[in-house]
């Protein structure tokens, strides 16, 4: 039931006066919630970095008493989760009251936090710090705030570098994908081109085989073919033909005359 796992909380407070209206502009206050050195107590520091620095230290037993006063049930861890969530909300206030006899601000103050409207209100009274104690609280808040900023910045730079690396990887993978798509597109077109070329070649060969040659050769072939067709078979060869005797009319008339 200690606070060894407590993450520090930083925030800015909304400052209000409890019993009077002040025409003067109120200073801006920051608060720091953290575990004590022995992690057995919860420590809260509030300061405007000038003459108003406040502190609250609560042990586990004191927080249990506050829990009973507020009326929050459940386990201890659930109660602390609600307290931390309330301190991280946007509605954390510093309520000032009275006027200090030393002339350096309010006489008393309390920190009020609420997770959401309608939920239980966390109210913690603060004790004013002066002298070396106030200076030590301001120095510790400043140092812890710088450490938190440095840690956040390192995480940001790390995530930024990781984002750049992922962007490069995604770009390289996109280029590979585009290259593969181009190759697939070329492969899908290649068979069509081959089939087209084969068909064209076959058509050209057929045309050549069908006699698409030069006109001179074609004319020579036609002349030879005509001569062969019109050539007269000699008589002595016709006489040897068996079967029906085919004679020309002129040959028959010459025989009769003889």
pLDDT band at 206 (very low <50, low <70, confident <90, very high): low
Q: Whats the size of the chain, residue-wise? A: 258
Reply yes or no on whether the pLDDT at 241 is more than 90.
Answer: no
Reply yes or no on whether the pLDDT at 181 is more than 60.
Answer: yes
17-35 burial code (b ≥16 CB/10 A, e <16):
eeeeeeeeebeebbbbbbb
Average pLDDT over residues 158-174: 90
Predicted pLDDT of residue 17 = 86
157-180 burial code (b ≥16 CB/10 A, e <16):
eeeeeeeeeeeeeeeeeeeeeeee
* 178 Cβ contact list (under 8 Å, min separation 6): none
Nearest to 44, CA basis, from 132, 109, 117, 115 = 109
Question: How many CB atoms within 10 Å of residue 211?
Answer: 9
Predicted pLDDT of residue 200 = 57
Predicted pLDDT of residue 258 = 46
Predicted pLDDT of residue 210 = 58
pLDDT, averaged across the chain: 78
Bigger pLDDT: 220 vs 3: 3
Average pLDDT over residues 107-112: 92
- Which tens digit of pLDDT belongs to each residue from 113-155? 999 888 999 999 999 999 999 999 999 999 999 998 998 889 8
Predicted pLDDT of residue 6 = 87
Q: Hey, what domains does the chain have and what are their CATH numbers?
A: 9-154 (2.170.210.10)
* 79 Cβ contact list (under 8 Å, min separation 6): 63, 67, 72
Predicted pLDDT of residue 39 = 85
Question: How many CB atoms within 10 Å of residue 220?
Answer: 11
- Which tens digit of pLDDT belongs to each residue from 53-107? 999 999 999 999 999 888 888 888 899 999 999 999 988 999 988 776 655 678 8
Average pLDDT over residues 223-243: 51
Predicted pLDDT of residue 245 = 47
Q: Are 109 and 126 in contact (CB under 8 A)?
A: yes
What span, in angstroms and rounded, lies between the C-alpha atoms of 34 and 46?
12
Predicted pLDDT of residue 91 = 85
């Amino acid at each position: 039931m200690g606070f060894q796992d407590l993450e520090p909380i930083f925030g800015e407070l909304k400052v209000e006066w409890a019993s009077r209206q002040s025409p003067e502009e109120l200073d801006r206050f920051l608060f720091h919630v953290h575990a004590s050195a022995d992690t057995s107590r919860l420590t809260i520091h509030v300061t405007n970095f000038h003459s108003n620095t406040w502190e609250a230290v609560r042990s586990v037993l004191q927080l249990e008493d506050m829990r009973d006063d507020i009326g929050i049930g459940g386990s201890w861890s659930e109660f602390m989760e609600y307290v931390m969530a309330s301190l991280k909300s946007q509605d954390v206030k510093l309520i000032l009251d009275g006027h200090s006899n030393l002339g350096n601000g309010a006489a008393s103050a309390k920190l009020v936090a609420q997770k959401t409207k309608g939920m239980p209100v966390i109210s913690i009274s603060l004790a004013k710090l002066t002298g070396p104690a106030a200076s030590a609280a301001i120095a510790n808040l400043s140092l812890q705030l710088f450490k938190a900023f440095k840690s956040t910045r390192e995480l940001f730079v790390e995530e930024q570098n990781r984002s750049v690396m992922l962007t490069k990887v995604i770009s390289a993978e996109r280029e590979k994908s585009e290259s593969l798509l181009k190759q697939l597109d070329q492969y899908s077109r290649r068979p069509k081109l081959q089939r087209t070329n084969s068909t064209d070649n076959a058509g050209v060969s057929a045309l050549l085989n069908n006699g698409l040659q030069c006109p001179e050769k074609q004319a020579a072939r036609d002349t030879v073919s005509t001569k062969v067709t019109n050539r007269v078979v000699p008589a002595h060869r016709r006489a040897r033909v068996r079967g029906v005797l085919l004679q020309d009319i002129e040959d028959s008339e010459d025989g009769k005359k003889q």
